[in-house]
Amino acid sequence: MNDETNEATEQHSTRSNHADEISHTLVHSGPAPKPEVIQILPMRETVLFPELVMPVVIDQPGAIASAQHATRNKQPVGLLLSAPDNDDDNGDTPGAGLHRIGTGANIMRYVTSPDGEHHLVCQGIARFRVREFLKDDEGRLSAKVEWLEEPAPEGDKHVDARMDNLRNSALEAIELMDQPSRELAHAIRSITSAALLADAVAGYLGLKAKEKQQILDAVDLESRLDRVQSFLDYRLEVMRLSREINQQTQQRMGEHQRKAMLREQMRSIQRELGEDETVAEEVERLREALDEAKLPEEAAEQTDRELRRLSRMSDASAEYSMVRTYLELMAELPWSKLSRDRIDIDESRAILDEDHYGLDKIKRRILEHLAVHKLNPEGKAPILCFVGPPGVGKTSLGRSIARAMNREFVRASLGGVHDESEIRGHRRTYVGAMPGSIISHLRKAGTRNPVFMLDEMDKLGASAHGDPASALLEVLDPSQNDSFNDHYLGVPFDLSKVMFIATANVLDSIPGPLRDRMEVIEVPGYTREEKLQIAKRYLVDRALEQAGLTRTQCDIADATLEALISDYTREAGLRNLDREIGAIVRHAAVQVAEGKPGPGTIAPQDLAEILGPKRVDNEIAMRTSIAGVSTGLAWTPAGGDILFVEASRAPGSGRLTITGQLGDVMKESAQAALSLVKARAKDLGIEQKRLDKSDIHIHVPAGAIKKDGPSAGVALYTALVSLLTDRKVRADVAMTGEISLRGQVLPIGGVKEKTLAAHQAGIKTVMLPERNRKDEEDIPDNVRSALDIRYVSHVDEAIEIALSGTD
């Protein structure tokens, strides 16, 4: 840049007139020179219209050189819009990427800012069309141009109509601006040229560069007016919506500010009256907590009423504490808080395998449940109910599901609950009212979608205060629990996001309508092998950790664990086994606490010293060593078990005596078994006189335990035939099945539990009804292979198996 240019720049570079502060200005100027060749300034985001003045920033070396050349020679420049990624300085073809129609402009001011940027203030002259681009050796881009004259239609009614419509729309847009400009409105009203009006309005619309270029390209006046009107109509619609939104926002903020001001005034009045501020402060604290809780509309209206009541109460009144407790509960409930589900099927499978050994069928069903929930989170999934003996891991399965879903876990024990209010809550009509168990546990969970375990559902009671099982019908119904009504809350609470899981030991005591709302998943007992693996993988390590011991100080050999399982525990679950392992570990802890190194590995022969003599004896051989004793299989809430049926004969008149705390159904089975024996006496080789002159006594030992059910029919019949034919029943055979008076063997339930009990008791052969063959797949593979399972359809087949080889 030469000295002349520097001098001109310095004269125009003043802080008060910095180019960044210059906005669009409408200027009416006289005729300007229009040379055939002009310097070209490529613009990336700037489009100038004729007669308008606006600031321009240039940064390309070629454009800077062109602007300086034009400034020195007092010549106009041409502004052409280019593509955003176009760089004219590096293009091999001059003008590549530039539009062909632009605006010629005079440079009114050239300013170089302290940071090195080049600012121009340009006034538009007229449109031009490029005929040919030129580029000199110094990198300046110029062009031969054709200047486009604006048409001046006078008396054209179509143009006048478009012009009036555009002017009115432009004035409305100015009124809708945040800061309406009277000067701009006056300038718009004073314009008499349709072409100038279209260009001026387009310059103030805030359009994108490509949209401005479309207007600049419109040489035809009517087309240009229509295009500007189209863009302005869209802009007007946006401005109207924006103003409406702003007004609504300001109205809401104004209402909030008005309430805050009134509350402050109320506090000031209370201070002037000398009243205690604690009530007002407490009300304000509760109001803020309730606002943060984001209550639904109905609940928010209820709490607003209670807040107004609280503000008028004295804190010394009993009702004050009741209302405050209610509002604190409402603020702490998770009305809008949800845990974010993170369900990964592979990870969920790994979590279930990590927490539980075996239970493959149950794990598969849980994974199916999780997969459906992942694919359709809004679906109405069934309520799962785990049914099984104590200690088989029902509660821990629920914890694993919660961990797999990344949800909170809460557990409510329903054992002994006999009042409906314990589920639905108490009405707030007396001191001491409380919410129900469902709402209380959700408050502890802190989220509206925890995994909620309803434990011991089969132990619900009923009383004059209502039936809690009926109250649970609404809780466990997916189509109703989105508006659960707790009497204490007084407003509906949405339970539809909660994943409920129920547990029970037996299904018989659960009411039918409640059982119908759940999908029952049976969790049976464990085999000896499964118990051994669980003890090795979980129970021993947990007991050592709780006692603060290591494996070197105390370890339990596999043979010792097997002895524990067979000689000290007989159960479907693991609780007794866990207690015995804990006793062994505590015995070792005493030695370590005394400064001794510890017992090391516990051998089977050490169990008698630590735990005492064996607690489980094998009574089968001893019991069945005489005629009239058979081994049956029973199902109990604690799992499967074996039972012995003993029959004895004494001289008499054919009377039947039944003892052993048998229920009515089992007594009827004994009567049916004796009638069947009498009817088939000839086929069995039994003299009728012997039956008529003998009294029969049937006894089932463990007389302190109640027993009932029809499945002992085969065992009763076998014991009677053994007694009356003086043939012993095989010691390694156990049986189950209901009988009819025609001698048919009918199906029973609990096949898996009963076969597990037989396997644990050392039974080799098990007789099952033929119609239970379909249940064989439920029996674990190792138990199935260890037992000789015989299916019988008639009592004759059972007698042939049970009494074979015992003559």
Active site amino acids: 711, 754
Q: Which helix (H) or strand (E) holds 716?
A: helix 713-725
The span from the CA of 606 to the CA of 29, in Å, is 115
Strand partners, 387: 504, 522
| Nearest 10 degrees: Cα torsion 18, 21, 23, 27 | -40
Strand partners, 800: none
The span from the CA of 377 to the CA of 704, in Å, is 51
Strand partners, 383: 518
Query: How many residues belong to the chain?
Result: 807
| Nearest 10 degrees: Cα torsion 651, 655, 661, 666 | 130
Q: How many CB atoms lie within 10 A of CB 695?
A: 14
100-to-65, 147, 297 alpha-carbon distances in Å? 21, 12, 61
Place of tokens 């089975």: 669
The DSSP 8-state label assigned to residue 626 in this structure reads S
Q: Comparing C-alpha atoms, which of 464, 494, 466, 500 is closest to residue 481?
A: 494
Sign of CA dihedral 593, 597, 600, 606: negative
The span from the CA of 403 to the CA of 392, in Å, is 19
Q: What ranges in 376-502 are assigned the alpha helix state H? A: 394-405, 421-424, 437-445, 468-475
Under 8 Å between Cβ of 303 and 290: yes
Under 8 Å between Cβ of 451 and 383: no
The span from the CA of 474 to the CA of 777, in Å, is 36
The DSSP 8-state label assigned to residue 496 in this structure reads T
SS3 of 787-802: the string is CEEEEECEHHHHHHHH
Under 8 Å between Cβ of 648 and 751: no
The span from the CA of 221 to the CA of 156, in Å, is 11
The span from the CA of 133 to the CA of 127, in Å, is 16
Under 8 Å between Cβ of 71 and 5: yes
Q: Comparing C-alpha atoms, which of 504, 519, 756 is closest to residue 637?
A: 504
